[in-house]
Amino acid sequence: MTDRVSPAFRALLAEAVRRSGEPKHLFAASVGLSPSQLSRLLRTTGGPTPDCILCLRLAQVSGLSPFTVLHAAGYESVADVLRALFVQQPPPPLTAQERRLLTGVRSLTRRSRRVLQIVLDALVISDGQAGPVSDSPDDE
Protein backbone atom coordinates (compact mmCIF):
# COMPACT_ATOMS: atom_id res chain seq x y z
CA MET A 1 0.00 0.00 0.00
CA THR A 2 1.39 3.35 -1.08
CA ASP A 3 0.19 6.82 -2.06
CA ARG A 4 -3.27 8.02 -0.83
CA VAL A 5 -6.76 6.60 -0.31
CA SER A 6 -9.39 7.98 -2.68
CA PRO A 7 -12.49 9.53 -1.10
CA ALA A 8 -14.61 7.05 -3.09
CA PHE A 9 -12.75 4.06 -1.63
CA ARG A 10 -12.83 5.52 1.88
CA ALA A 11 -16.62 6.01 1.66
CA LEU A 12 -17.11 2.51 0.24
CA LEU A 13 -14.95 0.97 2.98
CA ALA A 14 -16.74 2.90 5.74
CA GLU A 15 -20.11 1.74 4.40
CA ALA A 16 -18.89 -1.88 4.18
CA VAL A 17 -17.68 -1.76 7.79
CA ARG A 18 -20.99 -0.24 8.93
CA ARG A 19 -23.11 -2.76 6.97
CA SER A 20 -21.11 -5.71 8.30
CA GLY A 21 -22.31 -4.99 11.84
CA GLU A 22 -19.01 -6.36 13.16
CA PRO A 23 -16.60 -4.56 15.45
CA LYS A 24 -13.90 -2.83 13.40
CA HIS A 25 -11.15 -5.16 14.63
CA LEU A 26 -13.09 -8.23 13.41
CA PHE A 27 -13.89 -6.63 10.08
CA ALA A 28 -10.22 -5.67 9.68
CA ALA A 29 -9.14 -9.26 10.31
CA SER A 30 -11.69 -10.58 7.80
CA VAL A 31 -10.09 -8.53 5.00
CA GLY A 32 -6.53 -9.21 6.11
CA LEU A 33 -5.79 -5.93 7.88
CA SER A 34 -4.74 -5.01 11.36
CA PRO A 35 -7.08 -2.65 13.24
CA SER A 36 -4.55 0.18 12.85
CA GLN A 37 -4.32 -0.39 9.09
CA LEU A 38 -8.11 -0.21 8.82
CA SER A 39 -8.13 2.99 10.87
CA ARG A 40 -5.55 4.58 8.57
CA LEU A 41 -7.64 3.67 5.53
CA LEU A 42 -10.75 5.19 7.12
CA ARG A 43 -9.05 8.48 8.11
CA THR A 44 -10.08 11.56 6.22
CA THR A 45 -6.46 12.57 5.50
CA GLY A 46 -3.59 10.51 4.21
CA GLY A 47 -3.56 6.79 4.47
CA PRO A 48 -2.03 4.24 2.14
CA THR A 49 -3.67 3.27 -1.15
CA PRO A 50 -5.14 -0.22 -0.86
CA ASP A 51 -3.58 -2.83 -3.11
CA CYS A 52 -5.59 -4.98 -5.55
CA ILE A 53 -5.61 -7.98 -3.20
CA LEU A 54 -7.17 -5.94 -0.41
CA CYS A 55 -9.78 -4.65 -2.85
CA LEU A 56 -10.69 -8.19 -3.87
CA ARG A 57 -10.81 -9.36 -0.23
CA LEU A 58 -13.08 -6.43 0.60
CA ALA A 59 -15.37 -7.37 -2.30
CA GLN A 60 -15.44 -10.99 -1.15
CA VAL A 61 -16.20 -10.18 2.49
CA SER A 62 -18.68 -7.36 1.85
CA GLY A 63 -20.51 -8.82 -1.13
CA LEU A 64 -19.71 -5.72 -3.17
CA SER A 65 -18.83 -6.01 -6.83
CA PRO A 66 -15.05 -6.40 -7.24
CA PHE A 67 -15.30 -4.01 -10.20
CA THR A 68 -16.90 -1.33 -7.99
CA VAL A 69 -14.25 -1.73 -5.28
CA LEU A 70 -11.35 -1.68 -7.76
CA HIS A 71 -12.75 1.42 -9.47
CA ALA A 72 -13.18 3.20 -6.14
CA ALA A 73 -9.56 2.43 -5.22
CA GLY A 74 -8.28 3.83 -8.50
CA TYR A 75 -7.67 0.54 -10.31
CA GLU A 76 -10.02 1.26 -13.21
CA SER A 77 -7.84 -0.49 -15.78
CA VAL A 78 -7.57 -3.65 -13.64
CA ALA A 79 -11.34 -3.67 -13.12
CA ASP A 80 -11.94 -3.24 -16.84
CA VAL A 81 -9.59 -6.11 -17.76
CA LEU A 82 -11.16 -8.41 -15.16
CA ARG A 83 -14.63 -7.51 -16.39
CA ALA A 84 -13.62 -8.31 -19.98
CA LEU A 85 -12.17 -11.65 -18.87
CA PHE A 86 -14.90 -12.84 -16.53
CA VAL A 87 -18.19 -11.16 -17.37
CA GLN A 88 -19.96 -12.95 -20.16
CA GLN A 89 -20.87 -10.64 -22.98
CA PRO A 90 -24.28 -11.11 -24.56
CA PRO A 91 -24.19 -13.01 -27.84
CA PRO A 92 -24.71 -11.02 -31.01
CA PRO A 93 -28.34 -10.79 -32.13
CA LEU A 94 -29.63 -13.52 -34.42
CA THR A 95 -29.83 -12.80 -38.11
CA ALA A 96 -33.17 -13.10 -39.90
CA GLN A 97 -32.09 -16.45 -41.35
CA GLU A 98 -31.07 -17.75 -37.90
CA ARG A 99 -34.43 -16.66 -36.44
CA ARG A 100 -36.28 -18.54 -39.21
CA LEU A 101 -34.19 -21.67 -38.58
CA LEU A 102 -34.78 -21.47 -34.83
CA THR A 103 -38.52 -21.04 -35.34
CA GLY A 104 -38.51 -24.11 -37.59
CA VAL A 105 -36.54 -26.20 -35.09
CA ARG A 106 -38.85 -25.20 -32.26
CA SER A 107 -41.86 -26.37 -34.26
CA LEU A 108 -40.40 -29.90 -34.67
CA THR A 109 -41.34 -32.88 -32.54
CA ARG A 110 -38.73 -34.22 -30.14
CA ARG A 111 -38.06 -37.16 -32.48
CA SER A 112 -37.61 -34.85 -35.46
CA ARG A 113 -35.22 -32.68 -33.45
CA ARG A 114 -33.07 -35.74 -32.67
CA VAL A 115 -32.95 -36.62 -36.37
CA LEU A 116 -32.05 -33.03 -37.26
CA GLN A 117 -29.30 -33.05 -34.61
CA ILE A 118 -27.78 -36.21 -36.13
CA VAL A 119 -27.85 -34.60 -39.58
CA LEU A 120 -26.28 -31.37 -38.26
CA ASP A 121 -23.54 -33.32 -36.47
CA ALA A 122 -22.76 -35.21 -39.69
CA LEU A 123 -22.66 -31.97 -41.70
CA VAL A 124 -20.36 -30.25 -39.22
CA ILE A 125 -17.96 -33.22 -39.23
CA SER A 126 -18.03 -33.48 -43.05
CA ASP A 127 -17.27 -29.75 -43.31
CA GLY A 128 -14.04 -30.37 -41.38
CA GLN A 129 -15.14 -28.97 -38.03
CA ALA A 130 -13.77 -30.38 -34.78
CA GLY A 131 -16.77 -32.48 -33.84
CA PRO A 132 -20.51 -32.68 -33.39
CA VAL A 133 -22.62 -29.62 -32.65
CA SER A 134 -23.57 -31.08 -29.26
CA ASP A 135 -22.67 -33.88 -26.91
CA SER A 136 -26.16 -35.31 -26.96
CA PRO A 137 -28.86 -35.46 -29.62
CA ASP A 138 -31.35 -34.57 -26.86
CA ASP A 139 -29.85 -31.11 -26.35
CA GLU A 140 -32.39 -28.39 -26.95
Q: pLDDT tens digits for 21-57?
A: 999 999 999 999 999 999 989 986 666 779 999 999 9
Res 26: pLDDT? 96
Res 132: pLDDT? 57
Per-residue pLDDT, averaged over 117-126, amounts to 87
Query: Residue 139: is its pLDDT beyond 60?
Result: no
Higher pLDDT, 26 or 3: 26
Q: How far apart are alpha carbons 94 and 112 in whole angstroms?
A: 23
Res 133: pLDDT? 60
Res 1: pLDDT? 45
Q: Are 31 and 42 in contact (CB under 8 A)?
A: no
pLDDT in tens, 98-108: 999 999 999 99
Domains of the chain: 7-86 (1.10.260), 94-140 (no CATH)
Higher pLDDT, 135 or 8: 8
Res 125: pLDDT? 80
